[in-house]
Amino acid sequence: MYHVYKYKVSTGNEFVGKLVSTGEIGTRNNKKQWVVMGPSLEIENRSLHDQVVSRVRDLIIEGVLEPGARIDEADLIHKLGVSRTPFREALRTLAAEGLVIVRPSRGSTVRKLTRDDVRSMLEVLGHLEQLAGELACARASDEEVTALIDLHNQMMERYYARDRMPYYKMNQEFHSRLTELSKNEPLQEMQSNLQARLKRIRYIGNEKPEYWAGAVADHEAMVAALKARDGKALGAAMATHIQNTWKRVKDSL
């Protein structure tokens, strides 16, 4: 069985990926793998709410809706071809993720993070992902490790093709799934909360070619440690990656 995920990229087309699950769900034989497909305008197996959330989120991540900017509801409702109700429900979801500020009777704005906000959140995220890496090496099954390495390899294909938004979304999935392998629910919740609020920040961390190449090198170090099940090395690589993220984004804030 599989679920289909589609992502809008800056060209106006859509990147299409399938997160394929094989084996019985809930068993150790269950594996997940990204399968990269071609451009498409059709969206399948997704609710209207999810489609609107995804597209508005992408506009925020890519900077089309700039930090601090007021969201023109009428304009976006027209461009997306949806009614007011699902659009406003999507804004509430994005507000819960920390990407939007909703003020009743005053409209909604894109949340703007200060340098101090970003530095503080990255400091905490670095420690969380360091712990996640250490625990994942000790607790993940061989099948889970293999699936995560497969995702990394497919992410690298997007890097070599210079498909930035698909790469970014696989990158987010990599960090989420690695944290899941810690088998620690409070850790997963905290990491997920911060990752959601930092989506735009993590995206701009790959704006320059040398920054993107540096992030890829960080990930190669993570995967090498994961393959060796060296928890200390993986934890250190995760922490270094987040520290490098701050270095890459601080001058853009």
CATH of the domain at 70: 1.10.10.10
Which pLDDT score, from 0 to 100, does residue 171 have? 97
Domain containing 136 — which CATH number?
1.20.120.530
Question: Is residue 1 in some structural domain?
Answer: no
Question: Is residue 20 in some structural domain?
Answer: no
Q: Are residues 196 and 104 in the same domain?
A: no
In terms of DSSP H, where are the helices of the chain?
A: 48-61, 73-80, 84-96, 115-139, 142-160, 164-180, 185-197, 199-204, 209-228, 231-249
Half-sphere exposure at residue 31, Cβ-oriented, CA atoms within 13 angstroms:
15
Question: Is residue 38 in some structural domain?
Answer: no
What contacts 44, CB < 8 A, 6 or more positions away?
Answer: 4, 6
Q: Are residues 67 and 137 in the same domain?
A: no
Domain end call among 112, 130, 159: 112
Q: Which residues of 143-178 are buried (b: 16+ CB within 10 A; e: fewer)?
A: ebbebbeebbebbbebbeeebbbbbbbbbbbbbebb
Q: Are residues 167 and 236 in the same domain?
A: yes
Q: Are residues 201 and 105 in the same domain?
A: no
Task: Please report which helix (H) or strand (E) contains residue 107, including its range.
Answer: strand 107-110
Q: Are residues 102 and 119 in the same domain?
A: no
Q: Are residues 229 and 173 in the same domain?
A: yes
Q: Are residues 97 and 128 in the same domain?
A: no
C-alpha 82/C-alpha 84 separation (Å) is 7
Q: Which of the residues in the chain have pLDDT under 50? A: 1-22, 24-28, 32, 34-45
C-alpha 31/C-alpha 242 separation (Å) is 28
Nearest to 190 by CA among 131, 250, 102, 149: 131
Q: Are residues 55 and 150 in the same domain?
A: no
Which pLDDT score, from 0 to 100, does residue 29 have? 53
Domain end call among 112, 130, 164: 112
Token readout for 210 is: 């040398």
What contacts 239, CB < 8 A, 6 or more positions away?
Answer: 126, 127, 129, 130
Which pLDDT score, from 0 to 100, does residue 104 have? 85
Q: Are residues 185 and 223 in the same domain?
A: yes
Domain count, the chain: 2
Question: Is residue 58 in some structural domain?
Answer: yes
Which pLDDT score, from 0 to 100, does residue 14 have? 42
Q: Are residues 167 and 96 in the same domain?
A: no
| Domain range for 147 | 115-252
Q: Are residues 244 and 128 in the same domain?
A: yes
Domain end call among 96, 112, 128: 112
Which pLDDT score, from 0 to 100, does residue 86 have? 93
Which pLDDT score, from 0 to 100, does residue 68 have? 95
